[in-house]
Structure 1
Amino acid sequence: MSNATTAAKQPIFDAGDVGNQAQGFVTASIAWVQAYWLQILIAVGIGAAIVVALHAARRFGSKLCQRPRALNGWGMVVGKAIARTGNFFIVMLAAKLVSGYSAAPGEVATTINFLFTVAAVFQAAVWVREIILGAIEHRTQSEHYSGEALLSAMGLIRLLVTFVVFAVALVVVLDNLGVNVTGLVAGLGVGGIAIGLAAQGIFADLFAALAIIFDRPFRRGDSISYDTASGSVEAIGLKSTRIRGIDGEERVISNKNLLNKEILNNTQRNHRRAKFIIGVTYSTPPEVCSRIPAMLKEIVEANDKIFTRAGFTGFGASSLDFEVQFDSKGPDYASFYDGRTAVGIAILKRFNDEKIEIAFPTQVNMMAAPDGSVVMPYPETARPKSEGVTA
């Protein structure tokens, strides 16, 4: 290993040389004050002004916390992070900014740089933690997501975020001190993997709950459908979501399994569509059939529904088939249901008035003699005179 590499691995402070370094630091500081006292006084004044300005910024952040509606709530998140700015960071930032102007000696500059690095790294960790937790709390405090389960989950989330953020900060500080952090990082990685494997089910549902909060595929009170089930969302918890089924039952499904399914949010519909397939008898005249689509359109519009389309769809086994589609505004199922009933009854009444017969399935069974000839379904003596008998 080269000398440069060996030097890079040496810590800044060697335990055996602490006394010599402290004596050198004091000697250099006294000489520096005697030689640059005027610049030091000016730097102290500037540093004091910087400290006052940073304290004013911190007070401004505290005021933002008292106005939850500022910037749609995000101002409170940022203000809370600013309000957590520490005095040690403020002082070291001011010292770092003015140390160059006051021509600080190498020992003093090195000490300021070291303390500023420690203060800046841990202050950044505090800001990141507050922003992450504030963003999560901002979402969970919505009336659609509030609940004891999610609020209690904040304790676990706060613990995990704090551990991760400050673990990273500690590694950064130790690396700046010249400590070999490879083993520490590897140990943290192995420990994290072990914890993750042991509680992967809990973490999967926890992250799924956070995905529901941030992505908002549905909210509490929404009517949703998934697989073959439907219901109204009653509670979104840390591990599971509770849905009240249309038959009154309570369905409990884990957040992870629920998000793996295709979810239909019926509350977010902008309309509901209904469709009727109507078959008329083959004896209906063609000119009457050509008027049926226009009749259907008139009926739909007369019932204050949005007409989509109507027309002939095909030749059925025992009917001429027509189809009509129409929409009902909004997601309300009761209004849609009543409107569909009204349109259906109006179609039946109009067809009765127009003497249009609605077809129903019919079937004619023919019998055959042993030689394969058709056996008439009535006796020969009862054959109608119109058919006649050829001699």
Structure 2
Amino acid sequence: MTTNNTAAAAAAARKPTIDTARVQDQAESLINSSLSWLHTHWLQILIGIGAGIAVAAALFWLRGLGPRIVARSRTGTGWSAVFGRAVERTHGFFIVMLSAKLVVGYAGAPADVASTVTFLFTVAAVFQVAVWAREIILGAIEHRTRGEHIGGEALGSAMGLIRLLVSFGVFAIAFVVVLDNLGVNVTGLVAGLGVGGIAIGLAAQGIFADLFAALAIIFDRPFRRGDAVTYDSTSGNVEEIGLKSTRIRGIDGELRVISNKNLLDKEIQNNTVRERRRSKFTIGLAYETPPDKLDRFPEMMKEVIEASGMTYVRCGFFQFGASSLDFDVQFDSPSADFTEAYNGRHRTGIAILRRCNEEGLVIAYPMQVNYLAAPDGRLVDPRARPAASGPVDATES
């Protein structure tokens, strides 16, 4: 029993207690110094109070301009509306403490009063900056997504999650900054938050990867909803950009769903914003074509292509084929519209064939001739006129 009583007494001795006498002395000191300050600096205090009220009134008037700036924005998501909402979110406590901080030095306040004002101002300023930062970040994201990227339910889900992450991030930083200004050792807290963030990131890395990919699509704008895109060997129109995946309607009517991260890892061709569409023909002329006509062939192609409403790029001889002299012909459509380019290619191809017929140019096609051997070992050309003794057996394809 004696041992237990001794342990309890030792524990009670180690337990921290509040020194009420010391607290009372500090309170009395603060009251006495404040009364002495009021007695000796009453004129400076009155002037400071007047100046503080004037500053606060001006700041409240400036805050009142926020809703007016927002109302001037036609869409409600422009940059003026973003900054207007940030101004509107200015808290009254911050305005009061800012006014007090500006005039407390002029009034000659004692150290205890000045330190109290500084502490309250620091807390108000840090959290006010966090509020401004959150409003500007979220407003910038909404401005970038306005009317062309993520729509409907997907936009609400994305913005809800983004708002939660941004709010948690900025206010966590503000809380750590306030503790650091109070003299608290925040090293362990920062380390704990870092470890917790790493654990959450590893557990949901797939979700966050697709989320950040969606944000990359929002800000970088490689494509928009309704654009015709090509990735890998797939082509289609973007129907919806979601929080985790993008839906693309294929050219055969099928709906293709691909995660945002995997989509951005591929080379994407945005056919909607292309300037033109290029078509190519390979035209093989017969080896019997006279050289002067071969030399004039590029000029003929230029005339035909421009007459068909297309833009001539180039035409020239590029190889000796197995059964033809091959020319490469390239031309562009006047716009990026696929239907217009397709119809223009059709017109141009028919016009080239018609011009070749008019010029007497033969477009070669593969041909094979089988030669036969005569009884004396000579080769017999099956294209030669048959002898009177009888026909020559030959095969031509």
3-state DSSP of counterpart to 1:331: coil
Which whole-Å deviations, capped at 9, do the CAs of 1:69-125 have from their partners, x for residues lacking one? 499811111111111000010000000000111001000000000000000101011
CA contact (8 A) 1:299 1:347 kept: yes
Instruction: Tell me the equivalent position of 2:330.
Output: 325
5+ residue gaps, structure 2, are 1-16, 390-397
Instruction: Tell me the equivalent position of 1:96.
Output: 101
CA contact (8 A) 1:235 1:243 kept: yes
Instruction: Tell me the equivalent position of 1:388.
Output: none
Provide the rounded CA distance (Å) in 2 between the counterparts of 1:118 and 1:232. Answer: 51
CA contact (8 A) 1:171 1:181 kept: yes
Deviation at 1:364, TM superposition (A): 3.0
Provide the rounded CA distance (Å) in 1 between the counterparts of 2:114 and 2:388. Answer: 123
- Which residue of 356, 361, 364 corresponds with 2:366? 361
Which whole-Å deviations, capped at 9, do the CAs of 1:156-194 have from their partners, x for residues lacking one? 111111111111111110111111111111111111111
> Which amino acid letter does the alignment assign opposite residue 33 of structure 1?
L
Deviation at 1:383, TM superposition (A): 5.7
3-state DSSP of counterpart to 2:277: strand
CA contact (8 A) 1:223 1:266 kept: yes
Instruction: Tell me the equivalent position of 1:87.
Output: 92
- Farther-moved stretch of structure 1 (71-80 vs 104-113): 71-80
Scaled by the length of structure 1, what TM-score is found? 0.89
> Which amino acid letter does the alignment assign opposite residue 135 of structure 2?
E
Q: How many residue pairs align between the two structures?
A: 370
Structure 2 residue 309 is the aligned partner of structure 1 residue 288: no
Provide the rounded CA distance (Å) in 1 between the counterparts of 2:122 and 2:383. Answer: 112
Instruction: Tell me the equivalent position of 2:190.
Output: 185
CA contact (8 A) 2:319 2:327 kept: yes
Which whole-Å deviations, capped at 9, do the CAs of 1:201-257 have from their partners, x for residues lacking one? 111111110110011000000000000000000000000000000010000000000
CA contact (8 A) 2:315 2:329 kept: yes
3-state DSSP of counterpart to 1:132: helix
> Which amino acid letter does the alignment assign opposite residue 311 of structure 2?
I
The alpha-carbon distance between structure 1 residues 368 and 187, as it changes in their structure 2 partners (threshold 3 A), is farther
3-state DSSP of counterpart to 2:226: coil
CA contact (8 A) 1:310 1:325 kept: yes
Note the aligned Cα RMSD (angstroms). 2.4
Deviation at 1:19, TM superposition (A): 3.6
Structure 2 residue 281 is the aligned partner of structure 1 residue 238: no
Structure 2 residue 70 is the aligned partner of structure 1 residue 65: yes
Which whole-Å deviations, capped at 9, do the CAs of 1:22-53 have from their partners, x for residues lacking one? 32222211111111111111111111111111
Provide the rounded CA distance (Å) in 1 between the counterparts of 2:133 and 2:26. Answer: 35
Provide the rounded CA distance (Å) in 2 between the counterparts of 1:316 and 1:360. Answer: 10
Provide the rounded CA distance (Å) in 1 between the counterparts of 2:385 and 2:281. Answer: 46
Instruction: Tell me the equivalent position of 2:321.
Output: 316
Provide the rounded CA distance (Å) in 2 between the counterparts of 1:129 and 1:239. Answer: 23
Instruction: Tell me the equivalent position of 2:25.
Output: 20
Scaled by the length of structure 2, what TM-score is found? 0.88
- Farther-moved stretch of structure 1 (235-244 vs 280-289): 280-289
